[in-house]
Structures are given as structure tokens and as C-alpha cells.
Amino acid sequence: MKKEKVFITRRIPEKGIELLQKQYEVEVWSDEEPIPRDILLSKIQNFGGLVCMLSDKIDKELMDQAPKLKVIANYAVGFDNIDVKYASKKGIKVGNTPGVLTETTADLAFSLLMAASRRITEAVEYVKAGKWHTWGPRLLLGYDVWGSTLGVIGFGRIGQAMARRGLGFGMKVLYHSRTPKPEAEEAMDVEYASLDEIYSQSDYISLHINLNESSKGLIDKKALNQMKSNCILINTARGAVINTEDLIDALETSKIAGAGLDVTDPEPIPSDSKLLKLNNCIVVPHIGSASYATRSKMSVMAAENVIAALSGETLPYEVK
Ligand code: DGY
């Protein structure tokens, strides 16, 4: 019998590729850059399984050119790059990689919070530029983390992991989610708050919401205007939950003190973006889940999703 074909749109860690190679004919797009859209469109008709990245747009146009496609395994927990509704209409299963990257992404979110509060990137640049001539009583002053208030917007797995980190650093933690989470409040010392309360009371705000029609542009001028002038905004969710122009304005005019961004809109961020010229903004290239161990586990999960679907079984990590 002819082997089923699986396409992987980037070189993911070997473990996942090896698992797939045991059973299928696997093709990997090995370039450093994402596969050009037209090449993906021209290839996809041959494949029964697709492992794709959050940077690949998997939409109606693509699925309509994929008569053999049975499964789309996103190599990410977020799946806003996939038209899940259309996939379900076509009978194509969709999978993601939940859980495994929770703590790793929260680590990065908290690193951004610490780096922005204590101006670590500015300090590193200062030393590298040979400007460190003496100890300075007013040199590179930042904001305390301990004793401050952290507002977490989105209180799923990653939001709760961020809250635990905040509590460990002696912060008061407020959270907002569509509905209060009494079980989380029982497990840790956190308080439910409305969005307005989060905006007006937090010294740090960290975003952990999915990108969808209602969250798109949630952090806009109106929201930013309600924030404290010492507030530092952290985003490891998706770039488009923040209105970029409004954020630039808030940072330029010191309406808020700073931002730490793992995700941007657009992504990647254009090299001439004003955000990159601001001292009070740290931008890293969407590395929330980028630890060796986590990325390797994610490759196995994506492979397991493909294997299950191509064997006619329920996906272990299915998006519905
Ligand atoms: C995901 O997997 O959706 C995250 O954005 C990775 O950082």
C-alpha cells in the first residue's frame, strides 16, 4: 500500500519528524524563511497530513486545494492562523499543542516583565557602548516588581502560570477572564477584577487571551488612557490584541511607562517600526515557547495529532 504523505512547513525538532517518518513519507520545508504561500498552495494537493506553524495562513483557499488533507496539526497552542470552522466543514481535523508550553511561555512573560521594569536591555546597551564610567545614584532607575500589582487579562493555563509567578515575587494579583474562576481563586491568592479595574489599578498588565473578533484591538487608546503612568504592558499572546498605533502613542507620550512584547502586529515587526526606536519598549521575536525541551515536546504532540488522524482515531490534542 502507498504510504500517506505528510508535509511539515518548517524544520521542527527531530523527535516529531522521526515519529512521522516511521509511518509516512515526510517532506520538510527546510528553509530558514517560511514557505512562500504560492509554493505551499501548489504542493498541498499531494498531502494527507500537514504540520504547520503559526505563521502559515491555513484558510479556505488552501483547504480547497487540498483534496487529500485529513489533518492540520498546528505547531503552537494558538490557532488563529487556521480557519477551524471551514476545516470542520471539510472534515479536516485540526490539532494544537496545549499544556506543554504553559510554564515556558509564562517564564518568558515574566522575563519581559522583569527586563522592562529594571530596564535591562537599556542597561546592557549602556555598558556595551562604554558609557559605564562610574556608579550613578540616578542611573537607569526602574520600577519595583515586589509589592506591586499585576493584572492578568485572560486566565487560562498561561495566565494562571503568570499569576503564580507574580505571587512568588510578592505581587498582588488581579485577573480578568470572561467569567470569574472560583477554583483558581481557591487555589491561589488572586482577585477577579473588571477590565476597567485592571487598567486603573495595575502596575503591570500581562495579556494571555486568544486572538478572536472580540479580543482584536482590545488594548486601544481608551484602555491605555485608563492605565497608570507607571504601568508596564506585557504581551505574549498575539500582537493584534493591541492596537499598535495606540501603543506607540502611549509609549511616546509616557502615558504608560513601558512595554515588553513577544508578539507584534504585524509580525514580524517591520525593522523601521517606531516601537523599535523607543527605549521603553522591549521586543523579542515570538519566543514564548522557545525552550529546547518544550519545542521538542511540541514536535511530538504535533506528530501524535497527525498519526491519530491518519489512523482514523481521535486526535489527542484536538481543536474544535
Ligand atoms: C503559541 O504556541 O501559540 C505561542 O504563541 C508560542 O509562543
Cα 76 to middle of ligand 1, angstroms: 5
Alpha-carbon span 30 to 238, nearest angstrom: 25
* Dihedrals phi, psi of 158, to nearest 5 degrees: -75, -40
**How confident is the model at residue 2, as a pLDDT?**
76
Please enumerate in sequence order all residues whose Cβ is within 8 A of that of 313, keeping only pairs 6 or more positions apart, or say none.
none
**How confident is the model at residue 22, as a pLDDT?**
97
Residue located nearest, by CA, to atom 7 of ligand 1: 288
**How confident is the model at residue 191, as a pLDDT?**
98
The number of beta carbons lying within 10 Å of the beta carbon of residue 162 is 31
Q: Which fold has domain 102-283?
A: Rossmann fold (3.40.50)
Catalytic residues: 238, 267, 286
pTM equals: 0.96
Alpha-carbon span 30 to 117, nearest angstrom: 38
Q: Give CATH 3.40.50.720 domain extents, the chain.
A: 5-100+292-310, 102-283
**How confident is the model at residue 8, as a pLDDT?**
98
Which residue of 77, 97, 261, 299 sits with most ligand 1 atoms within 8 Å of its CB, as the best mutation to test the pocket? 77
Buried b / exposed e across 90-113, counting CB within 10 Å, b at 16+?
eebbbbbbbebbbbbbbbbbbbbb
Q: Which fold has domain 5-100+292-310?
A: Rossmann fold (3.40.50)
**How confident is the model at residue 261, as a pLDDT?**
99
**How confident is the model at residue 192, as a pLDDT?**
98
Alpha-carbon span 139 to 97, nearest angstrom: 43
Q: Which residues of the chain have a pLDDT value below 70?
A: none
